[in-house]
Amino acid sequence: MAAPDIPAAKRAGLPVDLPRLASEGDAWLSPEDRYALKTWGVCTQEQPGVFMVRVRNPGGALPTPQARGLARISRAFGPDWLHLTTRQNFELHWVEAARVPALLDAVAEIGMTTRSGCGHTLRNVMCSEDAGSNLDEPFDCLPDARAVSDAIVARSAELNCILPSRVNVAFGGSPRCRADARLNDAGFVSVLRHGEPGYELWAGGSLGKAPFLAVPVADFVARADVVAAAEALVEVFVEHGDLDKPSKGRLKYVVERLGEAAFRAAWDQAFAAARTRPHSPPPPVEVLGEADRVAILAHVPPGRWSAGVRPQRTPGLATLTVDIPLGDTNGSELELCCDLADRHGDGALNLSRDQNLVLRSIAVEAVTTVRETLATRGLFLAGEAHTASVRACTGSAVCALGITTAPDAGKALLESPGLGRNSSLRVHVSGCPNSCAQHQAGDIGLAGSKVRLGGRARDGYHVYLGADLPAGRVGEVVGRVATEDVPATVEAVVGIWEALRHEGEPLGTAVARIGHDAFARHLESVMAERWASGLEPEVAAAGATPVTVARVGDLAAGAVATVGATGTAVALANVDGTFCAVADTCPHAGASLGSGTLRGSALECPRHGGTFDVRTGAALAGPTEEPVRCLPVTVAGDAVQVTAVPSPTPTCAGG
């Protein structure tokens, strides 16, 4: 499928013809139409004629009437499958194209929306699932998270046409939330200043192929100004972001280009202007004093306190986390949890950032009843099923950008002995480098890719280790492995950590101390030819001798073809009589660029629409920001020659 011209779609106003979609299906949709649908939370699946629809759940808290409504919708419009995302949203898959408009209406009828669920929009505004109840939270930040979401989503028709890229926002005050703030475009960390509730503000965080941890912007923003603070960030992004280069559109590139000081100065100016505009006053929240841990911990639930049964600030009440493996559930499981929340809790489900469901305000005396009721459906509280803690995106099973089926890799790890012995370890599995499962933030991260092992390309994963967000470190690649060898690799990683860790030392800290190279060498010893250390190899150097790969007359202007240069596959392009060469393998999913489409100097990958400039190798559009490698080209007489080494300065040659 061709990649959309996203800037053109935005400048056209992102029109969406839902009545035509309902009457004719999706065959008529242009790439730009499909992108416009994303801004309504509707994304093309890998399979033709069906869509994924993402339902917004701002702040993660969902009243049970709405949850029951989603259960009904999942049965009515698809295969009764709901996927819980790492950003506290719901995804519905396999929705027939002609039924999408009716589904959007059904979502609106239960008081929810899909607006701005995908595309270059304000994505969900996340909030700690423990806000207001956790012993570490200074106050309940959920009302402020929802206020920011409501204010900016209300401007979707305007903002979605001018935002350079997506914006992810997170609220919370626990140590976990403080780490999450570093991963998001905007992170609001709840704090108290002289007893007044407010927020530290961080900006510019993002993972993917170019990870960047957020930088501090303001040490205190009062609750009354939190919407203005978010609006100011958006305005700086619109003013200084690059609308015409989506691959460089994220807020992190604005921070990088301006520098931290200039970025903060631009935000200060926009914030001062935003504060002069009228905003509704925030609802009052209780400032939470030091928790009475003696009174709280005097209450002991059956089975004792654990990762899945945590004490709340009110003595005698507990927060229960229901383990939803890989975030995949269905309508009847959702309804069962609603029954428990209504009967024993506060009448709401909270979606966690680890793709689980959270029940709050459960009396400790009711924990056994909840546990036993869940067991009738094969559900368990977190940590009680003795399975690994694994988060995963949907991968290539349904996602049009997926390279590997991340859920399959995740399922293969659920029964891991090493992870079972160490239930605190978190494994994050993304089906491509875009990091929907935040693989660079997990203790062990896996990113789906085409990997080279034993001289051939295979479906597999890059393995990331060393993440320590409080220390300002994300995971780094130590090597790559085929899909079927993921479990053995994870066991080897856990084993060497168990053997060498200091007392209480997290995996990321141990990796930093021992070294990525040492872990890679150990994996080489354990896995032998099933493992390759480091990043993908560069094109093998074959000396400096140019190799004739074609004759001038073999390739017409505007054509591209795969040729060989000393065993290296090369995509050779004729750009109006000038020959350019790039590595044939797309850096996103491994497809052959020689089978793509050349428009001017822009070469479009035939698989996912990634587009590259064959003169420079730069990524122009599509699912990856990674450039493709250029190779030197010369023309001697009528012979087109390529030197099979990467070119530090790309060279093309005229015919």
* Confidence at residue 258, expressed as pLDDT on a 0 to 100 scale: 94
Cα separation of 158 and 197, whole Å? 32
The answer to whether the Cα torsion of 71, 77, 79, 81 is positive or negative is negative
Domains and CATH numbers, the chain: 7-119 (3.90.480.20), 293-381 (3.90.480.20), 389-533 (3.30.413.10), 547-654 (2.102.10.10)
Quick one: the chain helix, strand, coil %, rounded to 5? Answer: 35, 25, 40
Residue 467 sits at φ, ψ, to 5 deg, of -65, 135
Beta strand pairing status for 456-465 and 196-203? unpaired
Q: In a 3-state reduction of DSSP, which class is residue 45? A: strand
pLDDT of residue 293: 86
DSSP 486-542: HHHHHHHHHHHHHHHPPTT--HHHHHHHH-HHHHHHHHHHHHGGGEEESSPPPPPP-
Do 114 and 104 touch, CB atoms closer than 8 A?
A: yes
492-540: per-residue pLDDT in tens?
999 999 999 999 999 999 999 999 999 999 999 999 989 999 876 543 3
- Closest by CA to 62, choosing from 292, 446, 367, 335, is 335
What HEC string does 169-203 produce?
Answer: EEEECCHHHHHHHCCCCEEEEEEEECCEEEEEEEE
CB atoms within 10 A of CB 563: 21
Mutual angle of helices 64-77 and 331-344, in 10-degree steps: 170
| C-alpha 5 chain-centroid distance | 22
Q: Check residue 648 and give its pLDDT.
A: 46
So what's the pLDDT on residue 538?
Answer: 44
DSSP 79-111: SS-EEE-TTS-EEEEEEEGGGHHHHHHHHHHTT
Closest CA to 436 of 473, 399, 472, 464: 399
- Give me the pLDDT at residue 565, please: 59
Q: φ, ψ for residue 452 (rounded to 5)?
A: -100, 120
233 Cβ contact partners less than 8 Å away, ≥ 6 residues apart: 167, 185, 186, 201, 203, 217, 251, 267, 270
Q: What is the pLDDT of residue 550?
A: 87
- Reported in sequence order, the residue ranges of 304-395 that DSSP labels E, i.e. its strands, are 309-311, 317-323, 328-329, 348-351, 357-363, 380-381, 389-392
Residues in the chain with pLDDT values less than 70: 1, 536-545, 565-568, 644-651, 655
pLDDT of res. 650: 56
The b-or-e profile of 327-340 (16+ CB within 10 A means b, else e) is bbbebebbbbbbeb
DSSP string, 276-323: TS--PPPPP-PPP----HHHHHT---TT-SBTTEEE-SSTTEEEEEEE
Structure tokens at 290: 């030091």
Specify the residue for token string 């491994």.
590
The two beta strands, 389-392 and 426-430, are: parallel
pLDDT tens digits for range 119-161: 999 989 999 999 888 888 899 999 999 999 999 999 999 999 9
CB 480 within 8 A of CB 462: yes
The confidence score (pLDDT) of residue 589 equals 79
Q: Which two tokens stand for residue 564?
A: 């060989």
**In this structure, are residues 127 and 142 in contact, taking their beta carbons and an 8 Å threshold?**
yes
What phi and psi values does residue 290 have, to the nearest 5 degrees? -60, 130
- Cβ atoms of 587 and 544 closer than 8 Å: no
| Contact indicator for 389, 419 with CB cutoff of 8 Å | yes
Handedness of CA 192, 198, 203, 205 (dihedral sign): positive
